[in-house]
Structure 1
Amino acid sequence: TAQCFSPLSEHFFAADNYAAEAMAADMDPWIVFDARKTPKAEFDDWLETNRPSRVCRFGDPESNLGNVGWIAVYGPNYCPSQGHLDGLHDDWERLQESGRPVKFETIRELALNHDVLTGKWLMHLDSGFKVDHAWECVARATLEGKISVAKVSPRAPASDGKHVICVYNETFTDEEDVMKLDATIRSIGIKCPLYYKPDIYTYLGIYRSNRWKLCPTIYESKFDLECVPRRSQITNKVTSTDVN
């Protein structure tokens, strides 16, 4: 029998697709420069060889290269932290079964209870010079310890020619720390719009067009070229208020 999908169910299907694509990328091999154990002298060659516009998400059979999930730089002081993911997913299942409304405050409570507090500023850039240049700025700042860890998506045929760069911080509930990271990103020459997403949304599979009608990004940063000194105009998307 034929199935009929409403526009709303198509949105949910799209959100599930985004989650599945992200999970597949996370599970595929990454190309990583780890500044904690790799000499800095090797960085320039590594960066040139692995420019995001030239690395294909699904490999290159002619060069005997397989899938690549992400290209990443771990800073010299990077200390990975995922929190208690098993307990998080158990409580998430219970929350959905309880019928309680799923809101930002509910997600924040889950994050605090399970120490899943990391988050990232996202930038979406066209393939080619734009993404390669922005990634070089971010990667060098990570190598120097100004940023703890960052990653960029390789070139993918289904991404409309766009890449995403993710720049991480420790605690999405610490607004001052989130704003400090935005200032660091702006100081290295990045002027494109930025969107901040807590990692808990990623771990729970909450992407845009999700069934709970949650916006998975909680801050939006636009660089103000007319302001002196130049700085970001940042909006808290949960409260619809300006941060600065």
Structure 2
Amino acid sequence: MEEEEATADGEESPFTAETYAAEAMAADMDPWIVFDSRRTPRSEFDSWLESNRPSQVCRFGDEEGGVSPVGWIAVLGMNHCPSSGDSTGLQESWEKLLASGRPVSFQTVKELALNHGVLTGKWLMHLDSGFKLDHAWECVARAALDGKISLVKVSPHNPKAGGKQVICAYNQNFTEENEVIRLDSVIRATGVKCALSYKPDVYTHLGIYRNNRWKLCPTIYESKFDLECVPRRSHIVNKVTNLEVT
């Protein structure tokens, strides 16, 4: 499920960060349904989208029907390149940091991420399963197909997750604020208006989820779409500094 713990931010959640981390790892390990726009003809996209609507694909499959579990549904953009960071080294440095007793803060984690090149991050959209989710997914999936986003993925329907599913849209470097803001405007331009929250992948690697013992907020930006102002735009707040960045 990823942090992405399919509850929207602000809702109290009964589980520990460790539970979420274990669920995220399980989803990553299960087979994914992937449309790779670098290899698959664009003409096949519409029927792929139609037959893999996220509200209709079951996370745990159907053993009797011979349908295997699905971890994620994803679209790889033309410019997608697999993240190249050293996650093993990151893990070792993290263990050392914890053993040293030094306080864990956003800055110490960011330092580790820079040292080991684990810099990707994603905007998260938590939506109720159903038409709205499928529509939002189609919007960002098409943006990936058009080369505007390098990777988007959506969690399949999980009856245990309280009816919420999560869409993730990725960028290369969470430390480049302009890049994070630019990805938000790409998502907004597709017509997505729900609240977004942004999480660096280093948090996912290190198990920094909701209810973590370091009391770190699991997301570092949030974006709310302002329907009142003209032209319409997002208000993005940096959760580390509590300052608006747009």
Question: TM-score scaled by structure 1?
Answer: 0.94
The Cα of 1:80 is off from its aligned counterpart by 1.0
The Cα of 1:113 is off from its aligned counterpart by 0.2
Counterpart of 2:191 (choices 189, 192, 202) is 189
The Cα of 1:209 is off from its aligned counterpart by 0.5
Counterpart of 1:148 (choices 143, 147, 150) is 150
Separation in 2 of the partners of 1:144 and 1:175? 23
Which residue type is aligned with residue 74 of structure 1? L
Separation in 2 of the partners of 1:101 and 1:14? 20
Please show how residues 1-244 of structure 1 align to structure 2 within 5 Å: 14-244=16-246
Structure 1: gaps spanning 5 or more residues: 1-10
Contact 1:12 1:211 in 2 (8 A): no
Deviation by residue 1:3-44 (Cα, 9 ceiling, x = unmatched)? xxxxxxxx8962111110000000000000000000011111
- Indicate the RMSD between aligned Cα atoms, in angstroms: 1.1
Q: Higher Cα Rg: structure 1 or 2? A: 1
Structure 2: gaps spanning 5 or more residues: 1-12
Provide the secondary structure at the position in 1 that maps to 2:16: helix
Share of identical aligned residues, percent?
Answer: 70
Which residue type is aligned with residue 44 of structure 2? E
Separation in 2 of the partners of 1:13 and 1:27? 21
Which residue type is aligned with residue 197 of structure 2? Y
Separation in 2 of the partners of 1:12 and 1:160? 12
Separation in 2 of the partners of 1:13 and 1:125? 19
Separation in 2 of the partners of 1:158 and 1:109? 36
1:7 corresponds in structure 2 to none
Provide the secondary structure at the position in 2 that maps to 1:166: strand
Question: TM-score scaled by structure 2?
Answer: 0.93
Q: Against the structure 1 CA distance between its residues 157 and 82, is the aligned structure 2 distance closer, same or farther, given a 3 Å change threshold?
A: farther
Moved over 2 A (4+): none
Contact 1:12 1:210 in 2 (8 A): no
